[in-house]
Amino acid sequence: MERLVVKILGNGGCINNGLPYNAFLINGHFLSETPPDVMVSLQKLGIDFEKIDTIFISHLHGDHTFGMPFFIINKWVNSLKGIKASPLTVLGPEGTEEHIKKITSAAFTTSHPSYAWLEQNIRYKIIGRDFQMTWSNLSLSCFELQHLVETYGLLLRRGEEHVFAYIADTSWCPQVEQVLAGKPKIVLIDMNGGRGNVHVSLEEVIEKGVPITGRGTVYYGIHLAGEFDSAFDGVNCAKQGDEIEINYA
């Protein structure tokens, strides 16, 4: 048996009641999202960010990207100390490279040495509906979601076995149902409340999602306005520091 460990760095949405912003880490080196407080979360949880070699960005809203300049400047500082880092690949939608350069320039200006580090040490891969790559011993693919801007979720598979799905910011839509039809072992899903058909709600997951997947899938709500208690077995509130272990063939 193989194993994934998904560590929750933060569970809060753009507007929340004081939660650390939504982000998670897989097996210590695959980071999903770079929210404004990503370095605070990594340091608080004692994570060696130099081991991170891949970053997935679902879309280019600030609560998913504005921590990137601070991630970059910390990488640059460590490079001055001679600390060896893993090569860094960023997966994101069209425009990700330009967006990261723009916000880093706004944060520190292009004359700051960290900007040169960015240009020399980050590789980019544009994700889309047809995007696929091999990560670890898994197949990584993306699926488009229904949000205010171009947004993608993430699916990890081993053969026909759907191991893990990340359903980022979205309203309930056919693409969500299609991913759930594969019955992933673990689903990390936006549960910001369903207001204005912009985000999925806890009630939608229970009423629409569980009947598709059955009880073999366990859901964790992220990108929250506030943490919640769920009396429904298999639907949980993800919390900072949680480690979700997934065993697969």
Tell me what pLDDT residue 195 has: 60
C-alpha dist (Å) from residue 71 to 4, 62, 160, 187: 24, 14, 35, 27
Question: Which domains are present in the chain?
Answer: 2-248 (3.60.15.10)
CA dihedral 73, 74, 77, 78 (to 10 degrees): -140
The whole-chain average pLDDT of the chain stands at: 96
CA distance 52 to 25: 9
Q: What is the pLDDT of residue 144?
A: 98
pLDDT digits (tens, 9 = 90+) for 212-221: 999 899 999 9
List, in sequence order, every residue forming a beta bridge with 141; answer none if it has no partner: 132, 155
In the three-class reduction of DSSP (H, G, I as helix; E, B as strand; rest coil), residue 51 is classed as helix
- Tens of pLDDT, residue by residue over 150-198, are 999 999 999 999 999 999 999 999 999 999 999 999 999 999 986 667 8
Q: At what angle do helices 68-80 and 96-108 cross, to 10 degrees?
A: 70
Q: Is the pLDDT of residue 97 over 70?
A: yes
Quick one: average pLDDT of 40-67? 97
Residue 140: pLDDT above 80?
yes
Is residue 63 scored above 90 in pLDDT? yes
Interval 121-130 mean pLDDT: 96
Q: Is the pLDDT of residue 203 over 90?
A: yes
User: pLDDT above 90 covers what percent of the chain?
Assistant: 94
User: Partners of 142 in the beta sheet?
Assistant: 154
pLDDT at 194: 67
The reported pLDDT for the residue numbered 196 is 61
- Residues 191-207 have a mean pLDDT of 87
The predicted structure's pLDDT at residue 1: 83
Report the pLDDT value the prediction gives residue 197, as an integer from 0 to 100: 72
Q: What share of the chain is helix, strand, coil (3-state, %, to 5)?
A: 30, 30, 40
Written as six digits, the tokens of 189 are: 């899903």
Tell me what pLDDT residue 193 has.
83
